[in-house]
Amino acid sequence: MIEAFRGNVKRAIAGTNVWVLPKHLQTYLWEFEFRQNLRTQPHLMFEFLMQAFPRPARLA
């Protein structure tokens, strides 16, 4: 299971990036984990992304 995850991470990174700096590796892993956890529920990914942005203040 770990070997499959590692292989998928390597393919995903190699498919989008030429290289990854070690100081940014954790961020890439978090993004990959987020995508993997929500791959069967794409509507949730959109909702999470929308919640990440602040809402504008309402004008009265």
Residues 52 and 46 sit within 8 Å (Cβ to Cβ): no
Write down the pLDDT at residue 40.
86
pLDDT tens for each residue of the chain, 60 residues long: 778 888 888 888 887 777 788 898 899 888 888 888 888 887 887 888 888 888 788 876
Write down the pLDDT at residue 49.
82
Write down the pLDDT at residue 26.
92
Residues 29 and 10 sit within 8 Å (Cβ to Cβ): no
Domain ranges of the chain: 2-39
